[in-house]
């Protein structure tokens, strides 16, 4: 089963900023930031005694600001915790674009939330994102992705959480993430097989922009669609690395043009400047050009994505 088996509108997820829902000042700044999506965190960044206050903050924020042009995601606490049920009630009331589930270990974690949302008649536009941040989550990535494509499931995206994964495995944080690369690629392979998307993990030292820039380049080369961020200063590099550059766009447009030629209508392979290009590259080119148009439309609202 290939990714092309699942058609879903492309969304920009180059830069996905995580903001503690308890931090009102950070919430107030979101409209001015150039990130593609925002994760409103009710989990790790909010202490137990502040959970209710954080939910109240989100109620006020969603009532006052639509965050136009940005995907809105609420990360809840596990349903097995004392806070998960209240968090999920809040999600249903606020109707963000997605709910992010922490520490997804197995397919049932996603299925249970899908079922609860269906029972509550939640809007079909409310999607599910899954944090893959435990050894079991990595081992079960493919089965979680497969279950996410069953009838009624809302699963759209995996987010890798390396801080928890390092803690549970003892792998040290090192430049280049050499000992983590096999696990990261396992996640990319799983989402590719079932038409989902995956976001690379946070980079903790937001002052080390050189190392962050290198890690963004690595994540993009691996096949991640974007990166989860912890600070606004990281947005520009993420947008640059996970967005198509001018050379890639020009090549994609040339591929589209070559297959649009009248004599190429029945061809699966065309000659493009001495290079043989297959029709499968046309699908990739169309996705890339569509992504470029989405980016252009973000900055120039009059631009049509076509």
Query: Among the ranges 43-47, 61-65, 249-253, which has the highest mean pLDDT value?
Result: 43-47
At residue 80, what are phi and psi to the nearest 5 degrees? Answer: -75, -10
For residue 72, count CB atoms less than 10 angstroms from its CB and return exposed for 0-12, middle for 13-18, buried for 19 or more: buried
Residue 35 shares a structural domain with residue 111? yes
pLDDT band at 240 (very low <50, low <70, confident <90, very high): very high
55-to-39, 72, 86 alpha-carbon distances in Å: 13, 15, 9
Q: pLDDT for 169-186, tens place per residue? A: 999 999 999 999 999 999
d(CA 164, CA 99): 19
Q: What is the CATH number of the domain that holds 158?
A: 3.20.20.60
Shared-domain flag, residues 277 and 200? no
| Residue 171 and residue 23 share a domain | yes
Average pLDDT score over the chain: 91
Q: What is the pLDDT of residue 96?
A: 96
153 shares its domain with 267: no
Mean pLDDT of 119-136: 94
CA 302 to each of CA 32, 33, 118: distance values in angstroms, whole numbers, following the listed order: 19, 20, 36
Task: Verify that 204 and 274 share a domain, yes or no.
Answer: no
Query: Confidence class of residue 151 from pLDDT cuts 50, 70 and 90?
Result: low
Q: Check residue 303 and give its pLDDT.
A: 47
Quick one: average pLDDT of 200-225?
96
Which residues define the annotated binding site for substrate?
Answer: 75, 133
pLDDT band for 192, please (50, 70, 90 cuts): very high
Residues 36 and 161 in one domain: yes
Domain boundary among 242, 268, 291: 242
pLDDT tier, 302 (very low <50, low <70, confident <90, very high otherwise): low
Same domain, 157 and 292: no
Same domain, 129 and 256: no
What domain range is 82 assigned to? 3-242
Whether residue 82 sits in one domain with residue 223: yes
Name the band, by pLDDT with cuts 50, 70 and 90, for residue 2. Answer: very low
Q: Which ranges of 65-106 does DSSP label H, i.e. alpha helix?
A: 84-94
pLDDT of residue 301: 58
H-type helices in the chain, by residue range? 24-28, 51-64, 84-94, 107-119, 135-139, 141-147, 162-169, 181-193, 209-222, 235-242, 246-260, 279-299
**Is 145 domain-assigned?**
yes
Q: How many distinct structural domains can be found in the chain?
A: 2
Annotated binding-site residues for Mg(2+) read 133, 164
Annotated binding site: 75, 133, 164
pTM tops 0.85, yes or no: yes
Q: pLDDT class for 266, splitting at 50, 70, 90? A: confident
Binned at pLDDT 50, 70 and 90, residue 288 comes out as confident
Model pLDDT, residue 6: 43
The reply to whether 169 and 278 lie within a common domain is no
Name the token pair of 44: 């790790």
Q: How many CB atoms lie within 10 A of CB 263?
A: 7
Q: Residue 43: which residues within 8 A CB-CB, separation 6 or more?
A: 75, 76, 77, 78, 102
């Amino acid at each position: 089963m290939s990714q092309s088996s699942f058609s879903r509108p492309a969304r920009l997820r180059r830069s996905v900023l995580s903001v503690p829902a308890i931090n009102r000042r950070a919430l107030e700044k979101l409209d001015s930031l150039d990130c593609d999506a925002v994760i409103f965190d009710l989990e790790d960044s909010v202490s137990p005694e502040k959970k209710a206050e954080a939910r109240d903050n989100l109620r006020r924020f969603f009532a006052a600001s639509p965050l136009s042009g940005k995907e809105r995601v609420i990360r809840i606490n596990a349903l097995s915790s004392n806070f998960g049920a209240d968090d999920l009630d809040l999600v249903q009331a606020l109707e963000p674009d997605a709910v992010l589930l922490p520490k997804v270990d197995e397919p049932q974690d996603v299925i249970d939330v899908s079922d609860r949302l269906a029972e509550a008649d939640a809007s079909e536009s409310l999607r599910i994102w899954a944090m893959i941040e435990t050894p079991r989550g990595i081992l079960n990535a493919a089965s979680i992705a497969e279950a996410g494509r069953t009838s009624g499931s809302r699963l759209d995206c995996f987010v890798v959480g390396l801080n928890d994964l390092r803690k549970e495995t003892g792998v040290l944080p090192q430049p280049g993430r050499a000992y983590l690369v096999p696990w990261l690629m396992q996640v990319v392979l799983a989402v590719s097989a079932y038409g989902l998307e995956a976001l690379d993990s946070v980079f903790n030292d937001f002052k080390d922009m050189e190392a962050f820039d290198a890690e963004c380049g690595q994540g993009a080369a691996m096949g991640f669609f974007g990166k989860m961020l912890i600070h606004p200063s990281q947005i520009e590099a993420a947008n640059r690395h996970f967005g198509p550059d001018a050379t890639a766009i020009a090549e994609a447009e040339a591929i589209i043009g070559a297959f649009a030629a009248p004599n190429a209508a029945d061809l699966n392979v065309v000659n493009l400047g001495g290079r043989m290009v297959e029709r499968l590259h046309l699908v990739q080119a169309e996705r890339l050009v569509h992504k470029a148009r989405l980016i252009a439309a973000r900055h120039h609202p009059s631009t049509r994505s076509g």
